[in-house]
Copies of this chain bind each other. A is one copy, B any other.
Amino acid sequence: MDTTSRANALSGAKLVGRFRYLRQNKPGLKSFTQQNLPMNVTLAQAETIIAAAKKKATEIDTKMDICVVDAGSNLVAFARMDGAWIGSVDIAIKKARTAAWFMMDTQALSPLVQPGESLYQIEHSNGGLITFPGGVVLKNGDEVIGAIGVSGSVVENDHAVAEAGAAAFDISYQGQSTRA
């Protein structure tokens, strides 16, 4: 998908809709939220997430840096697979923090930060954002309670590994995964 079509795929109007959606409690999840689950991802959950991400990375023959942060964007766990790029340490951390800071996957930001688009150069905030794919939110029902960031290969692989980590979290934590 080129830049223009990606930008069209998530216009400002769609972002508003998405944002509202995230703010609404879906009926089936409302009672879930009322059960008072923790607001932040735990270390045990983060370890489960990282193990699943490593497994996926190995399956697709990549070497990844993997980071899990809490809702406040603070580091919970990190792992660099042997031989993974050193430069991806910071990128994995920034992807996770960016997802947590804005409560959305980093790939949702990619079209909005292109030249001429509404959030152009937002990366200069917060000591540096990463706005390409690989950061994925972790949710307790509708609440974002953390994020995973992955870097070390092409962004499609980075995102796939992050999704695999997040899916393991969904299943272990919520008994189901809504991910593809």
Contact = CB atoms under 8 A, between A and B. Distances in A.
Interface residues of A, number: 74
Given A86-B74, A86-B101, A131 B121 contact: yes
A19 to B, nearest CB: 7
What is the count of identical protomers in the complex? 4
Contact of A85 (B94, B102, B154): B102
Given A114-B115, A115-B114, A98 B87 contact: yes
A75 B124 CA distance: 19
A58 to B, nearest CB: 12
Given A39-B39, A155-B119, A80 B74 contact: yes
B125 A90 contact: yes
Nearest to A22: B83
Interface of A: 2-3, 6, 12-13, 15-16, 19-20, 23, 36, 39, 42-44, 46-47, 61-63, 65, 70-83, 85-91, 94, 98, 100-103, 110, 113-116, 118-133, 153-157
Top 6 A-B residue pairs of the complex, sorted by shortest distance between their CB atoms: A72-B72, A87-B101, A3-B116, A78-B78, A124-B128, A12-B154
